[in-house]
Amino acid sequence: MRQAFAGNGLKQTSFAKSAIAVILALAMSMVAAGQAAAAPKRSSSKYAAIVIDASTGKTLFSANSESRRFPASLTKMMTLYLTFEALSRGKITKETRVPFSAHASAQPPTKIGVKAGNSITVETAIYALVTKSANDAATALGELLAGSEEQFARMMTAKARSLGMSGTVFRNANGLPNSGQFTTARDMATLGLALREHYPQYYGYFSTRSFTYGRQRMPNHNRLLGRVKGMDGIKTGYTNASGFNLVSSVIDGNRRIVAVVMGGASAASRDNHMVELIKKYLPKASTRGKQAPLVASATSSPIGAIAKVLLPKHDAPTPDVRPDADVVVATDDTAAPARTPEAAPAPVLQAYADPSPAATIPAPRPEAPVVAAAQQIDPVSTSSVASSGWVVQIASSPSRGEAEAFLEKVGKEASGILARASGFTQPFQKGGVTYHRARFGGFESKVAAWDACAALKKKKISCYAVQN
């Protein structure tokens, strides 16, 4: 009896161990399944990702980063880049009216719903792009800057080439589906770096948490703002063909990265993967701080006479940076007429026109070839808005922000003299360093420019007149 009882006890013990083993195996499989469900499907044909050290340019992580993908609303990053460029050169101001054509107004959601014939300000359009990702506002901006969306797409592609984005072709201003519009994760990281490096005075728009237009309150589609420490943008995107995309910029002390995730199966999985990449690779970024620009300036100009005046930092106003707060825009924008002289002259900016057939982009097709070298010319003129070509230069500085701050300062001090002039900056290279000329254009003749400079000198403002 004792032997039988002992045998039964051994069987029971063995059974219990087996049961525990089965339960543990099931638990582990459930955990693994949960992790697999949370992780992005990296075998997906849509998936691509990259993490770049924004101080050194070193690639910290890469997965399919050179493979062709659809950008979706990441396209609006280039629309904003060209808008910031036009602002910095004085081609437009934040108060310039953006008219909505029938074509722009008819763009499908997401949109802010401005009716054809009405207009909004440039700044309102910027907010609409960075928060609502408004397709109608993006198209309207493109038409303002280039005369037509098709022409603007050529500008976008040419600008991409000049920034080193060799795997990108744009077909529209908003990222709505087009089989001939494509990019790569690496190119989107390059564009993210360029936006911060080239236009730091406008980059703060990307951290806007929400935007109220009329009765619409539009939260930023980037759900990681406020969730991830140091996150300051940049842009989300989604279409059926692209999956869920996100470009992020994160700064923690001296460490800074730009990360891209494309082709997520959902917004949540995309965001979770982005958080995973940030947690893993931000600590690996350099702490030495930024040594030199990582993305070459997209414009070039002949090396001419250099202004001897350098802007003293202690005398410069703070650059225009937007807080990451809620923004409320006046509701009368929707009713503003698009073509009254006071509200919206809506000029086509001829300086941005495509100067030659060399900038023509091939007809759309799913696997369009990379644009040839002859098509890589930047069609954006760096000249003044003046018809005479004569400008007044007041300073040059290695800092674009300082040059623009000096323009603002002098513009206020000499508002009577420069009432009809437009301030703009113009980059140039000297000794391997990029400087930025601070100039006023809009003079009708050489004599007008000379007279304006003479009047400025009477106010103790150094300057000289030169043909741009």
Catalytic residues: 73, 76, 133
Q: How far is residue 60's CA from residue 410's CA, in Å, rounded to a whole number?
A: 44
The pairing of strands 390-397 and 433-441 is: antiparallel
The runs of H, that is alpha helices, within 414-460 are 446-458
- Through-space distance between the first and last CA atoms of the chain, rounded to whole angstroms: 111
- In the three-class reduction of DSSP (H, G, I as helix; E, B as strand; rest coil), residue 424 is classed as strand
Query: DSSP code of 177?
Result: -
Rounded to 5 degrees, what angle do the CA atoms 185, 175, 210 make?
90
CA distances, 188 to each of 52, 264, 299, 400 (Å): 11, 15, 19, 23
Q: How many CB atoms lie within 10 A of CB 127?
A: 27
Element (H, E) at 396: strand 390-397
Strands ordered across the beta sheet of 231-239: 59-63, 48-53, 255-264, 243-252, 231-239
How does DSSP classify residue 185?
H
284 is in an annotated binding site: no
For 233-289, give the DSSP string: EEEEEEETTTEEEEEEEEEETTEEEEEEEEEESSHHHHHHHHHHHHHHHGGGS-SS-
Cα–Cα distance between 400 and 404 in angstroms, integer? 6
The 3-state DSSP class for residue 2 equals helix
In the numeric block, the tokens 């080439």 are attached to: 161
Which neighbouring-strand residues pair with 249?
258
| Angular region, 191: left φ>0, alpha ψ -120 to 50, beta rest | alpha
Q: CB burial class (10 A; 0-12, 13-18, 19+) of residue 21?
A: exposed
List all residues 6 or more positions away from 367 whose beta carbon is below 8 Å from its beta carbon.
68
Three-point CA angle 227, 247, 114, nearest 5°: 90
Tokens 């250099």 found at: 306
Residue ranges of the annotated binding site for substrate are 235
